[in-house]
Amino acid sequence: MPRKKGRKQKKKPQNRRLSLVERGQVSGMAVMGANNDEIAKTLKCTPKTVREIKKKVENHDTLKDLPRKGRPKKTSPREDRTIKFMSLQNRRCTAKAMNLKLCPTFMKNKVSTSLVKERLKKAGLPARVARKKPLLSLKNRKGRYEWAKNHLDLIEEDWQKVVYSDETPLTLFQWAGKQYVRRRPGEEFKDECLTPTVKQGGGKIQVWGCFSWQGPGPLYRVKGLMDGAQYRQILKTHMAPYLKKYEEEMKCEVVFQHDNDPKHTSKVVKRYLENKHIVVLDWPSQSPDMNPIEHAWKILKERIHARANKASSLDEVFEIAKEEWNNIPLEVFRDLIQSMPRRVKALHTARGKHTKY
């Protein structure tokens, strides 16, 4: 039968576990003559809960939980805390190594490694893959924190006036992280269920690139090992024309960003930038998490990996990279630039330590 419009349904009381104090209130109200419904309404529980508590007092003369049936736990609460404390002391200690150390010294009963894993999971300490981040010295942390303080007031429009640049390696066989397949038992060595590997990725090239609020900039293939002289030539023939064009579009002074790599800070490069009156953004050392182009490189490599027609030579790798770089949607680059205020704020909050970016 359909429910009438405008008629509110009564909210049913929650069937919840009462504390010892609340159980005492149930017992006291029952002695005073209150019925089950009145007690349940006062304590916001179900009448069934009230009946069970009264029955427990009548049959066992206690308000506490009765011993449960079944096999008792192999570890006591104190032993569980010991497992948790030992894991917090050494985050890289495996459950197997912990078990070998615990059993003869701290544990009353012999336990399995799987039980130690279970206790750690219940303590909120499951095993996770350690994130890879650059090593930060105390000097690096102080420099990153000072940089964050100095750039904390910059708004999104300020970051839109920056051209972001960096270099990245590209291999003949791109690797896109963990690969998952669906297979039946015994099919793990079928060709379609394998991820083929090649030593050193089958060869690699180094590319330099940049991007701005207007989208991707030029992509250049580095010849051999790049030094200050070659980097200066890249700036002269690729970056400077792009920067000039971007300044004309933005109708304001544009800032150039690169990190503190030795070839970026070489005398020949500094002299060129000063002579051309190019404003360079001050940048903290060991801070790839602040450079949005790192995420752009990741997107580029994923797009290259996802292509059906794979490259058969390093020359083709570069041609495919140029094509995919220019095909990355404009919104992707703009989203990365819009994240800059959040990145700086996260670095300031972390006081120069690592951030999630």
HEC secondary structure over 170-191: EECCCCCCCCCCCCCCCCCCCH
Measured CA to CA in angstroms, residue 316 lies from 115, 170, 225, 319 at distances of 52, 11, 20, 5
In 3D, which of 217, 100, 127, 87 has the Cα closest to residue 165? 217
pLDDT for position 10: 59
pLDDT for position 333: 96
pLDDT for position 342: 96
- Give the mean pLDDT per block of 10 residues along the chain (357 residues): 53 73 89 89 88 88 82 84 90 88 76 90 90 92 96 94 94 71 86 75 86 94 91 94 91 92 94 94 94 95 86 90 95 96 96 94
pLDDT for position 1: 44
Q: Distance between CA atoms of 127 and 124, rounded to whole angstroms?
A: 10
Q: What are phi and psi of 9, to 5 degrees?
A: -80, 140
pLDDT for position 201: 59
CB 163 within 8 A of CB 212: yes
Name the pairing type of β-strands 162-171 and 215-221: unpaired
Report the run of H or E that residue 36 belongs to, with start and end: helix 36-43
Using DSSP's 3-state secondary structure scheme, residue 226 falls into: coil
pLDDT for position 349: 96
Class of the CATH-defined domain 138-349: alpha beta
pLDDT for position 12: 61
> Which tens digit of pLDDT belongs to each residue from 13-54?
567 778 888 888 988 898 888 999 998 888 888 888 899 988
pLDDT for position 141: 95
> Which tens digit of pLDDT belongs to each residue from 266-288?
999 999 999 999 999 999 999 99
Domain boundaries, the chain: 20-60, 77-122, 138-349
In 3D, which of 280, 279, 296 has the Cα closest to residue 337? 296
Whether the model pTM is above 0.75: no
**Maximum Cα interatomic distance, the chain, rounded to a whole number of Å:** 95
pLDDT for position 246: 92
